[in-house]
Amino acid sequence: MRSYTKVLLIFLFSFALVNCTKEDEIPSDVEINDFVWKAMNAYYLYQDQIPDLSDRRFNSQPQLNSYLRGFETPNELFTSLVFDRPTTDNKSVLVDDYNTITTPSIRTSVTHGMEYGIVAVPGSTTEVLGYVQYILPSSDAASKSISRGDFFYGVNNTQLTRTNYETLLEAANSYTLNMATFDGVTVEEDSVIVGGIKVPRTVDLAKSGYTYSPIALEKNIVSGANNIGYLLYNNDFSNNYINDLNNSFLQFKNQGVNQLILDLRYNIGGGSFVKNINQIASMITGQFTNQTLVKERWNSKAQPWFEQHQPDSLLTKFATHLNPTTPINSLELTDLYIILNGSSSSIELLINSLRAHINVHVINSRATLGNNTGAISLYNSIDYDFIGRSENHTTAVQPIVLEFLNNNDETFDNGFTPDMRICAQEDILNLGEIGETTDPVLNSVLNFINTGATPPPNCNPLNFEFLFNSLNRQRIVDNGVFIRQDLPNTN
C-alpha cells in the first residue's frame, strides 16, 4: 500500500465557512447521504460532468441537507450521481455494508473436477451433448478414465436435454456419465471391451472439496529458435498467488526463456489491484528499474492538487520486490503473448502499461472493452479512510476515481484489437491437449511466434449451438482495477 503523510486539504468548496457554525453541522437523518455526496463531489472521476455534484450547486450546508432529504435511500442518491450508466460508468458501486468488502480468499469449490460445455445435438430440438473442456489435476475426475475432448450424452442413463442438463449435472453430488462418440453430425453410444464383451462406456464422478492449484500449468517449450515459457493461469490476480507466480518465473528464468505465452483462456478474473499488476509486469520485464509503468489521471479537482503536492503518488514504477525480503524474479523479456477469450480490466491495464516498454501481442476472439479506469473504497471519515470512519452506519462507496495511462501517456478506452484472432468457441472436435502442440490455439500461437503468420481462424464451421460452459458460472464479476492510496480531506 502506498503511504503518504495525511494532509488536511480544503478545496474550493463554495459553502465552506472560515469558522465552524451550527449551520455547518450535519443532521443525523442525512449523515449517510451527506457522506455519499461529498465523497463523490471530491473524487468521482466525472464530477465536473454531473450538475448536482458541482461545487456551485449549493450555497450552504442547509441547502445541501434539503437536497439530500429528497432521496429515500443512499443508493437512490448514489445512482443519480453516476455518469451515463452503464455506457460510460458501469463500475462505480455503493456498498451497504463495508464489512462485505473483503480481499479474495484462496479459490476453492465442491467439484468433481470436470469442466465441460454443452451443445445442441445437430438435427434435434431437445437433445444436447456434453464435451469435456479440461480436467482439474488431483480431482476425482483426474483419477478416472476421462479426458479433454471426450463426449457424454447422458447422466445415470437419462438422455441430456435442453431442460434437464443443468439439474442432472450441476445439482447432483455424484453421478454416472454415459459416454458418447461424436463426428460432428451423429452421436453414438461409446463402448469398451470388458471380459471380451462390448459394454457401454460409463464414468462415475463424485464431488468433493477442492483447492485450485495456484498455477494451472507451467512448462518450457522449445520451438524453432525460441525458448518459450508457457503459463496457463486460471485464478484471480490477488496477493494469494503472487508468490506462486514469482516461483514460476524463477523456473522460467533458470530455463533461459526468451518469450512468454500467458494463457488466460480459462481465467476467472478478479482480485485486481494496481500493485498486483505491477508485480506481474515486473516479473515479465525487470530491465526498467525506476521507470514508470502506470500513470494516474484523476478528476479536475484532485489532479492539480496531486501534481503540486504529491506528484509521485500519480506514478507506479516497476517493482523490484514483492516485499522487503522477497525479490521479484524477472525475465527481462521484450515480447509477451497473451491469450484471452474476452476482456478483463486487469489484463487491459497490464497490456497498456507494458506496451510502452516491450512488444505485447494480444491473441483474442475480439477486441477488448477498454475499461481504462480505476476505483477506490471510500469510507465516512475525515480522509475517507477506513480508520476513523463513522460508527453510525456501514455504508461505503467505490467510485471510479481515475484513468490509467502508460509511460507514453497512452490510455485504452477503445480497448485492444487482437494481433491474432482465435475463435470464441474452441473446436470441440479437435481440442487437443492443453500445453501441447495438439492444442490448435497453442500451436497457432507458436507458429505466430516463429513465422509471424496470423491466418484467420475457421470458427464453428458445423454451426454448433453452444448452450452452456461450466466455467462461466465461476467467473468473478469484473468490478475493475482498484487502487490503495491515502487521500487528503476535500471538504
Q: Report the predicted TM-score, pTM, of the whole model to 2 decimal places.
A: 0.92
Q: Is 403 helix (H, G, I), strand (E, B) or coil?
A: strand
The cell numbers describing 217, all together, are 500449468
Strand 321-323 vs strand 396-398: parallel, antiparallel, or unpaired?
unpaired
pLDDT, residue 86, reads 83
pLDDT, residue 458, reads 93
Name the nearest CA neighbour of 248 among 229, 273, 226. 229
449-455: long-range contacts, CB 8 A cutoff, minimum separation 24: 449/223, 449/224, 449/226, 449/228, 449/259, 449/261, 449/335, 449/337, 450/223, 450/224, 450/225, 450/226, 454/419, 454/420, 454/421
DSSP state of 142: G
The domain 217-457+477-482 having CATH identifier 3.90.226.10: the answer here is: yes
pLDDT, residue 4, reads 38
Beta strands (DSSP E) in 121-266 are 128-135, 151-155, 158-159, 174-182, 187-189, 191-194, 197-200, 202-206, 208-211, 217-223, 226-232, 259-263
Output the DSSP codes for 94-139: EES-GGG--PPPPPEEEE-SEEEEEEEPTT-SSBEEEEEEEE-TTS
The second-level CATH assignment, the architecture, of 108-211 is Roll (2.30)
User: Do 108-211 and 217-457+477-482 fold alike per CATH?
Assistant: no
CA distance 407 to 354: 9
CA distance 408 to 348: 16
- The domain segmentation of the chain, as residue ranges, is 108-211, 217-457+477-482
CA diameter of the chain = 96
* Average pLDDT for runs of 10 along the chain of length 491: 38 37 80 98 97 96 97 97 90 96 90 97 98 96 98 98 96 95 98 93 97 95 95 92 97 97 91 92 97 97 94 96 97 98 93 98 96 96 94 97 98 96 96 97 97 95 97 88 80 53
The cell numbers describing 34, all together, are 451527506
Strand order in the sheet with 226-232: 217-223, 226-232, 259-263, 335-339, 359-364, 420-421
